[in-house]
Amino acid sequence: MNEIWTEKYRPKDLDEVVGQKHITERMKAYVASGNMPHLLLAGPAGTGKTTCALALARGLFGDEWKGNFVELNASDERGIDIVRGKIKEFARTAPLGKAEFKIIFMDEADALTSDAQAAMRRTMEKYSKICRFVFSCNYSSKIIDPLQSRCAVFRFSPLTKEDVENYLRMIISKEDVKIDDDALEGLVHVARGDMRRAVNSLQVAASLGKQITLDVIYQTTGLAKPEEVRKMLETALAGNFIGARDMLDTIMITYGLSGQDIIKQIHSTFFDLSITDSEKVRLMDKTGEVEFRIVEGSNERIQLEVLLAYLVMIGGSKR
C-alpha cells in the first residue's frame, strides 16, 4: 500500500474516465483530429478535470506527452509575474517531436489574480499556433470573461452514486479489501460525488488492516453518522436542550469535527426532520446566520448551542 490509490487508479485513457461521457466524447474528437482549442474545465472537486486533461495529452502526443505538457497550480503561482515569466517562456518554445503544439495546464485557475488573467490574454493569442491552454477551476465565475470567450467550456457534474460505487468496487476487488456493504454505502454517501475523496477515504480505512465497518468509515472521513446528527436535532426539537448539547459534545469529541463541519451536516439533515416547510425555512435562515458568524470568527461552540436553542424554541411552539 505504498502507492496513493488516487494516482495508481487514475484513468490513463479518455474511455476509462468515469461519469463524464458528454465531455470525453468531445475530447476524443479532438484526439482524432489532432487539434484542439483552448479549454476551460469547470466543476466540483474530484470529478475528473485533471484526469481528463492528462488523458487528452496522452491521446494527442502519445509517448512524447510529458515533454509537451506542463502542469502549473495557480493557487501556488497566482501573480502576474508567473504569467510574464514561466508561462510565457514555455509557451514560446517549440513543441518536441512531431507534435504541432504543447499544452499548458493551469490547475485551480480561479485562484489567479485578475491582473494575471488579464496578462494571459495576449499570451494565448500570440502563441496559439504552438501552445494551447487548459484551465481547470471549481468556479468559472472567477475566470474573467475575456478568458472564457477564448476557450471551449466543459462543465463537469458531480459523479452519481452508481459511478462512485462501481469504481470503488473495482479498487476493492484489485486490492483485496474486506468491507461491509453498509460501509461501502456510507463511503459513497460521504463522497458526495467526489471520486478523489472516496478513493482516499477507502485507502485510509483499508490501511487499518482489518474489516472495514461503517464506524471506521465515519471516523476516518471526519464526519459524524447522519443518524447521530438527526437524533441530536430531534432531541432539541423535543425540548431537551441539555441532552442535545451533550450529544453535540460527544459528536465533536468522537469525530474531531469543527463547527463548520457540523453546520454542513446539520444543514443536510434538516430535510429529514418531521417539521413543516415554514419551520424548515426558518431553520435554514438561522443556520445561514450561524454559519456566517462561525466563518467570521465567532466562538463555534456558542454559535452551535445558539442553533440548538433555536430548535428548542421551534419545538416549543408546537407543544
State the pLDDT at residue 155: 92
Q: What is the pLDDT of residue 293?
A: 93
The residue among 22, 12, 96, 18 whose CA lies nearest residue 53 is 12
d(C-alpha 192, C-alpha 198), whole Å? 9
Task: Please tell me the distance from the alpha carbon of residue 126 to that of residue 60, in angstroms, as a whole number.
Answer: 22
- Predicted pLDDT of residue 30: 92
Distance CA 224, CA 235 (A): 16
Nearest partner of 76 among 86, 67, 89, judged by Cα: 86
Topology, domain 226-318:
Zinc Finger, Delta Prime; domain 3 (1.20.272)
Cell of 29: 474528437
Residue 29 CA to residue 305 CA, distance in Å, equals 55
Q: What is the DSSP string of 66-129?
A: GGGEEEEETTTS-SHHHIIIIIHHHHHSPPSTT-S-EEEEEETGGGS-HHHHHHHHHHHHHTTT
- Burial degree of 122 (CB within 10 A; 0-12, 13-18, 19+): exposed
Place of cell 450529544: 247
Q: How far apart are CA 61 and CA 67, in angstroms?
A: 9
pLDDT at 81: 63
Architecture of domain 5-155: 3-Layer(aba) Sandwich (3.40)
Supply the CATH classification number for the domain 161-221: 1.10.8.60
Contact 186, 156 (CB under 8 A): no
DSSP state of 35: -
Backbone φ/ψ region at 155: left (φ over 0), alpha (ψ -120 to 50), beta: beta
pTM: 0.80
The answer to whether the 5-155 and 161-221 domains have the same CATH topology is no
Q: Where are the domains of the chain?
A: 5-155, 161-221, 226-318
At 100, the amino acid letter reads E
User: Can you list the residues of the chain whose pLDDT is less than 50?
Assistant: none
Q: Would you state the pLDDT for residue 67?
A: 84
d(CA 36, CA 61): 12
What's the length of the chain? 319
**What pLDDT is stored for residue 275 in this prediction?**
83
- Write the CA distances from 86 to 57, 98, 175, 268, 300, integer angstroms: 20, 23, 40, 44, 43
Instruction: List, for residues 78-120, the tens digit of each pLDDT value.
Output: 566 666 677 777 778 877 878 888 998 988 888 888 888 888 8
Of the candidates 135, 102, 101, 131, the residue with the CA atom closest to the CA atom of residue 116: 135
Query: Residue 222 has what pLDDT?
Result: 75
